[in-house]
Amino acid sequence: MRIYEVFLKADGKEEFRHAGSIEAPTDELALVLARENYTRRAEGTHMWVVDRENICVSEEGFIDANLNKSHRHNDGERVAEWRKSQRNKKSNG
């Protein structure tokens, strides 16, 4: 048995989303079993099943946050404050 990850995409502009996983011995069985296990209530219009072995996994720490570059974590609050003060200045003066 192999483990497959199941992804579903709803109709329209929705992206594929992870729905869960499934155990199956072959690709064809993974497809038919995923169909019965994950799509019985019209959860999507497209499905991918991906053998977990074929997923490239980054090692631990590979994508940890870079703590010394705070400018990359700007939430826009300071800019919004500055713009608000500029607006107020204009309307007051």
Partner 1 sequence: MVKSVLSSAIKEYLLAFADDEHLMGQQHTEWIGIAPFLEEDMAFASIGQDELGHASMLYAFILEGSPEIDAFIFNRKPEEWRSCQLVESNHQNWEEALIRHWCYDMAEDLRWELFRESSLPELVLISERALKEEKYHRRHADALVENLLTVSASKSRLMQALEKIVPEVLELFSSIPGETEAISSGLVSGKYCDKLPTWRSRVENRFGTLDPKLFTTSDYQARTKRHLDFAPLYGRIREVFLLDPKAVW
- Helix, strand, coil percentages in the chain from 3-state DSSP, rounded to 5: 40, 25, 40
Binding-site size, partner 1 (CB under 8 A): 15
Q: Which of 10, 33, 47, 50 binds partner 1 (CB under 8 A)?
A: 33
Position 50 contacts partner 1 (CB under 8 A):
no
In angstroms, give the least distance from the CB of 34 to partner 1. Answer: 8
Position 53 contacts partner 1 (CB under 8 A):
no
Is residue 44 within 8 Å of 56, Cβ to Cβ?
no
C-alpha span between 61 and 66 (Å, rounded) = 11
- Contacts with partner 1 by CB under 8 A lie at 1, 22-26, 28-29, 31-33, 35-37, 40
